Amino acid sequence: MEGNGSKVKEIVNSYGGNRDSLISILQDVQSEYQYLPEDALRHVAAQLQLPVIQVYGVATFFKAFSLEPKGKHIVNVCLGTACHVRSAPSIVDEFERQLGICRGETTKDMEFTLETLNCLGTCALGPVVVVDGKYYGEVTPGKVSKILNEYREAPRDTKHEELEIGS
């Protein structure tokens, strides 16, 4: 098996090769590669004996799945109403300026992907930014470089669940 085949096989086997587990399998594949590489999707289809188009259909239907490579660190800026009125767009602008990318893009060195989302359920702390699962509350444009510096050359840690307020 070439490319990502052996890892994908391991993941599919961990679900007993069950087609009903397609979404969970794709989640695990994405956790492995940070996105869904095309050859991995083909391997999933082959091992579950499903049409490739069906696997693609699921991969493109859910917003949580990405067919594009993402950076080592995922920066999410909340643009929900409560954060928006507290100047969240200026925070997005500052991340774009410092990273040299637009929202939805990844830096050339594959370190950061900048994304936006709507309401994380912590509106009282807005504007809220989440990096690799770590929350930052009451963010201002002046705090953007401090946040980024925490992650520059730092290993990705998706288990962060801390809540930082106004630091």
- Where on the chain is the footprint of ligand FES (CB under 6 A)? 78, 80-83, 119-120, 122-123, 126, 128
Minimum distance from CB of 79 to ligand FES (Å)? Answer: 7
Nearer to ligand FES, 37 or 126 (CB): 126
Minimum distance from CB of 81 to ligand FES (Å)? Answer: 6
Residue nearest ligand FES (C-beta atom): 80
Nearer to ligand FES, 71 or 126 (CB): 126
**Is the Cβ–Cβ distance between 12 and 44 less than 8 Å?**
yes
Minimum distance from CB of 105 to ligand FES (Å)? Answer: 21
Nearer to ligand FES, 67 or 85 (CB): 85
Residue 143's DSSP bridge partners are none
Nearer to ligand FES, 41 or 79 (CB): 79
d(CA 92, CA 85): 13
d(CA 125, CA 121): 9
Specify whether the backbone of 138 is left (phi greater than 0), alpha (psi in -120 to 50) or beta: left
Minimum distance from CB of 134 to ligand FES (Å)? Answer: 15
Burial class (CB in 10 A: 0-12, 13-18, 19+), 114: buried
